């Protein structure tokens, strides 16, 4: 059905154009006309897909919200040790935020605009929970040094991953979000992983996996 | 001059009430009437001090903006090794953000509302710069383990400190911003500081200093 495919392409163009405009000028600073201009869609096409700019923003929030549980599930199913899964999972999330404007805009809207911040709070709690479980399993598997508190480490990694998103956009020129996320692992793993785990260098092979 | 003192008390009450309201309902969601109600100020008193809600927000941004360079200068003058200064400086900043609603609201406004984010970008660049210099001096003084890259570590610490602010507010119940910031140091110092520096436990004495 070429007509349906064309409609989907238009919808996608509107979503991407909105994400780019919101990023440049902010949600409040973006008139509908700018989204239409950038996407090449007509007003009629816009209202065929979305009832308002707000509805489009809710869609962006929903798109990113669906993404994270899938990404985590994919990593949790991999046959890797739990520390490598934690590294790979967080690394992929950071690279996605750096490279995908739709995910990035949706994440920002979830925090600052839509749904009174509830989506952002839930997402943060879920990331912290998954990282905590993986670090606890890492401790049980003997991958962490004696005396390392896996719950504390999970909280620190989570905070650092959230921070690289904010700082990576703030402080430029400088490393981007993905490169800063890799630095987080390099610095933190030195202090928490066993010499054996570090020697095997599994994290270097895990980071940057597609 | 009791009249002048009363005017200053009213001004301060308006600033604090605005910070609290912005935190509860957001800048857009806070009508002037809510600030007046919470502060107990009259409309006339408000307009004696501020030309608009926007002008009040600019004041909040300016108040927090003045605070950070002073805090850093105070720590840089202390007779401590550079690593202890970095720890103490970042720790005090985190505790201040946790405990002072005016600083906290001003920091949020700087990022999301006022001045197109420029104040937030400048503040982030300054923090990263100061932390980088302190970590480089720590390396020169032999306080960091061999192979540790002080520039990388400074970026990671900076990101983690920004992240604990966001996450500490998002994920609750859980440790607050100050406690999470202390965890950042505990986890990262284990991986970067020399055994001798860690044994001396200077950072434990530095953290929580008034």
State the CATH number of the domain containing residue B158: 1.10.357.10
B55 domain residue, yes or no:
no
Do B75 and B137 fall into the same domain? Answer: yes
Q: Which residue bears the tokens 């202090």?
A: A191
Do B95 and B191 fall into the same domain? Answer: yes
**Shortest Cα distance from A48 to chain B (angstroms)?**
30
End-to-end CA distance of chain B: 32
Whether residue A125 lies within 8 A of chain B, CB to CB, comes out as yes
Q: Do B170 and A124 touch (CB under 8 A)?
A: yes
How far is the C-alpha of A152 from the C-alpha of A130, rounded, in Å? 13
| CA angle, residues B88, B90, B95, in degrees to nearest 5 | 90
B56 domain residue, yes or no:
no
What is the tens place of the pLDDT at every residue in B75-120? 999 999 999 999 999 999 998 988 999 999 998 888 776 555 677 7
User: ipTM value of the model?
Assistant: 0.83
Do B22 and B85 fall into the same domain? Answer: no
How far is the C-alpha of A12 from the C-alpha of A7, rounded, in Å? 9
Q: Do B156 and A188 touch (CB under 8 A)?
A: yes
Q: Do A187 and B120 touch (CB under 8 A)?
A: no
Where in the sequence is the domain holding A14, given as residue range(s)?
1-50
What is the tens place of the pLDDT at every residue in A44-77? 999 999 999 999 999 999 999 899 999 999 999 9
Whether residue B121 lies within 8 A of chain A, CB to CB, comes out as yes
How far is residue A198 CA from its own chain's centroid? Answer: 26
Do B163 and B66 fall into the same domain? Answer: yes
Whether residue A113 lies within 8 A of chain B, CB to CB, comes out as no
Q: Do A167 and B152 touch (CB under 8 A)?
A: no
Q: Is A118 left (phi over 0), alpha (psi -120 to 50) or beta?
A: alpha
What is the pLDDT confidence band of residue B208, given thresholds at 50, 70 and 90?
A: very low
Do B137 and B172 fall into the same domain? Answer: yes
Whether residue B108 lies within 8 A of chain A, CB to CB, comes out as no
Do B37 and B99 fall into the same domain? Answer: no
Interface of B with A in 133-152 (CB under 8 A): 148, 152
Mean pLDDT of the region A129-143: 96
A55 domain residue, yes or no:
no
Number of domains present in the structure of chain A: 2
The b/e string for A25-45 (b: 16+ C-beta within 10 A; e otherwise) is: ebbeebebebbbebbebeeeb
Do B71 and B101 fall into the same domain? Answer: yes
Do B96 and B196 fall into the same domain? Answer: yes
């Amino acid at each position: 059905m070429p007509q349906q495919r064309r409609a989907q392409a238009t919808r996608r163009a509107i979503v991407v154009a909105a994400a780019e405009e919101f990023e440049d000028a902010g949600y409040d600073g973006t008139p509908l006309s700018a989204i239409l201009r950038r996407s090449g869609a007509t007003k009629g096409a816009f209202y065929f897909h979305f009832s308002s700019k707000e509805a489009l923003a809710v869609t962006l929030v929903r798109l990113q919200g669906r993404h994270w549980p899938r990404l985590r599930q994919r990593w949790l199913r991999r046959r890797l040790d739990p520390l490598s899964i934690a590294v790979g999972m967080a690394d992929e999330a950071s690279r996605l935020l750096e490279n995908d404007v739709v995910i990035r805009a949706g994440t920002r809207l979830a925090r600052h605009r839509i749904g009174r911040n509830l989506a952002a709070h839930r997402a943060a709690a879920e990331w912290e929970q998954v990282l905590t479980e993986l670090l606890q399993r890492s401790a049980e598997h003997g991958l962490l040094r004696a005396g390392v508190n896996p719950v504390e480490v999970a909280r620190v990694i989570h905070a650092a991953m959230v921070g690289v998103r904010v700082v990576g956009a703030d402080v430029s020129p400088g490393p981007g979000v993905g490169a800063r996320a890799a630095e987080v692992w390099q610095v933190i793993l030195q202090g928490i992983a066993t010499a054996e785990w570090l020697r095997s260098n599994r994290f270097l092979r895990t980071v940057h996996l597609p």
